[in-house]
Amino acid sequence: MGIELVISGLLVLMIIAAIVAVEIKDLLSSVVAVGAVGVVLSLLFLLLQAPDLAIVQLVVEILALIILVRATVTRDGTDYSTKEIFVKTVTMIGVLIFIFYAFRAIKELPRFGEPKMKVASYYVTEGNGIKNNISETGAANIVASIILDYRGYDTLGEATVLFTAVLGVLAVMRKVGRKK
């Protein structure tokens, strides 16, 4: 029960920071609140025994924060609040339907802390066939061996997505060829 309580407390902190980020008027404060959400998420990854993810999340969060501050700091920060009752009503009905089905779906999941782990069990038992070798790939870090060996094409696709996103940013932001 102990670890579950700690994780639930940090998640409540994340939810509070997210509500602040969504509802506060000043855009710069909103961006800083998103940074708080990301840093707590990094802490949660560390508690959930995922050190690689914690490191990557921290770096990504800092980069995203810098870019978001660049986008908001010199610009008009007024909040364009919604006055229309119709939009909020429809949104609330949609959210209630979503909650109903999501609660039914969550009941089907394995309980927290008791995963099925079919693939991972294969990796550490049957996959451990070679003598004097710690695993099938010989890698000590199993997460690294999955992303670079078993799912190497997946990582190649990730690099493609990153390259495409950089191309998109360059195409959108370039100064040459822009009509005045």
Partner 1 sequence: MAGYIPYILCLILFLVGLYAILVKKNLIKIIIGLGIIDYSLNLFFVLVGYKKGSGFPILTKGETVHPMVDPLPQALVLTAIVIGLAVTMLMIAIAIRLYEKYGTFDITQIRKLKG
Residues from 50 through 89 that contact partner 1 (CB under 8 A)? 50-53, 56-57, 60, 63-64, 67-68, 70-72, 75-76, 79-82, 87-88
Enumerate residues 125-144 that contact partner 1 by CB under 8 A.
125, 128, 134-135, 140-143
Closest of 141, 148, 150 to residue 119, by C-alpha:
150
Residues in contact with partner 1, shown as a per-residue x/- string from 9 to 28 under the rule CB under 8 A: --xx-xx--xx-xx----x-
**Among residues 85, 104, 172, 176, which is the contact residue for partner 1, using CB under 8 A?**
172
Residues 86-105 that bind partner 1 (CB under 8 A): 87-88, 91, 94-95, 98-99, 102-103
Using CB under 8 A as the binding criterion, the count of chain residues that bind partner 1 stands at 89
Q: How many Cα atoms are found within 13 Å in the side-chain-facing hemisphere of 144?
A: 8
Distance CA 7, CA 12 (A): 9
Contacts by residues 146-152 (CB-CB < 8 Å, ≥ 24 positions apart): none
Q: How many residues does the chain have?
A: 180
Residue 162 or 176 having the CB closest to partner 1: 162
Other Cβ atoms less than 10 A from the Cβ of 31: the count is 21
